[in-house]
Structure 1
Amino acid sequence: MIDRDYVLTMARYNAWQNAGMKKAMESLTEAALRKDRGAFFGSILATANHLLWGDRLWMSRFDGREGPSVGPDQHTELTPTLATWGTERFRTDGRILTWAEKLRSIDLTGDLTWHSGVLGREVTKPKALCVTQLFNHQTHHRGQIHAMLTAAGAMTQDTDLFLMPETGPWL
């Protein structure tokens, strides 16, 4: 289904896109970031927090390290400000990239089993599918944030994968 090169490319894409998204978010006021824009999670910052929360949750399943610092009922409030979000986003993107760099294609075989707090039960799925879910979830919610940023008048960067720089700035 996927291999190490795919994961590494997507980890780099994720970091590149999040850096651009942060820059666009920084052009808005705190009130504009918190304004309910009718999106699934309401505001730009709430959606960005949900995305960060989900990345940390999936990474805890992949690398065995810590997960989000709040439960699913507080996922949209993971960080209180854009500045805090930016710091935590940078750390999490570094974690994803470091994990991807160390990954071997064989690590993507077999199943992953975890307890889903949202579903309230144990879940088992193919590892490759779960890793694909990490990157698909990122792209989905960044698309929502991109639309909200554009509607708010922020200047956003290109999102096409083929436009990603060959080298840095991943982080």
Structure 2
Amino acid sequence: MTPKEIIHLSHYNAWANETLYLACSQLSETEYKLERKSYFGSIHNTLNHILVGDRIWFGRLENVLENLGLGDILYDDFNNLSSARTIEDQRIISFAEKITQARLDGVLDYKNVAGDFYSDPMDIIIRHIFNHQTHHRGQVHCLLSQTDVPPPSLDIMYYMRAND
């Protein structure tokens, strides 16, 4: 993994989040917060979880402790969550634009939410962060398919074609 790849993934990630949030903005609040059969229950809760995960991981990367639980609801309403998502995506892009190959080749020592200490390769952690978002965006995509709002295409190929 190279810094160039991380920059590319960070921009794709922001595009995918913006595209998904645009679709979710078409839902009524009732549909958006409706408890469904999914790990985090609702679209709202799942989107909150993605943001929580990013804040935890980027807090570790930036040495800023985030005292968050994986199921925490950071924002109770869509508009504030959407604004926070945009800010977080800019944080991720900024991080990506500054990362060096030496840092990518290093390790990160951190404590997980259960309090256990780990030392993991930085490139694997970065892959995990983007994979985590993709995984849960897929869950939201599935939840959207249970509404009248068509789930958007989020494949990286669509991003590349939209940004040529």
Q: TM-score range by the shorter chain?
A: over 0.9
Specify the alignment match of 2:12 in structure 1.
Answer: 13
Structure 2: stretches of 5+ with no match in the other structure: none
8 Å CA contact retained: 2:7, 2:93: yes
Residue type at the aligned position of 1:72: G
Residue type at the aligned position of 2:117: E
Q: 1:160 aligns with which of 132, 144, 155?
A: 155
- Note the C-alpha offset of 1:18: 0.6
Secondary structure in 1 aligned to 2:145? Answer: helix
Specify the alignment match of 2:102 in structure 1.
Answer: 106
Secondary structure in 2 aligned to 1:72? Answer: coil
1:30-64 CA-partner distances (Å, limit 9, x unpaired): 11111111000000000000000001111111123
Specify the alignment match of 2:47 in structure 1.
Answer: 48
8 Å CA contact retained: 2:6, 2:96: yes
Q: Confirm whether residue 91 of structure 1 aligns to residue 90 of structure 2.
A: no
8 Å CA contact retained: 1:114, 1:124: yes
* More displaced 10-residue stretch of structure 1: 55-64 or 90-99: 55-64
8 Å CA contact retained: 2:141, 2:152: no
Structure 1: stretches of 5+ with no match in the other structure: none
Task: Report 1:3-152 matches (<5 A).
Answer: 3-65=2-64, 67=66, 71-72=68-69, 74-75=71-72, 77-118=73-114, 120-152=115-147
Residue type at the aligned position of 1:157: P
Hey, what's the Cα distance between the residues in 1 that align with 2:163 and 2:28? 32
* More displaced 10-residue stretch of structure 1: 83-92 or 158-167: 158-167
Hey, what's the Cα distance between the residues in 1 that align with 2:125 and 2:30? 35
Hey, what's the Cα distance between the residues in 1 that align with 2:37 and 2:87? 29
Secondary structure in 2 aligned to 1:159? Answer: coil
* More displaced 10-residue stretch of structure 1: 19-28 or 158-167: 158-167
Normalization by structure 1: what TM-score? 0.89
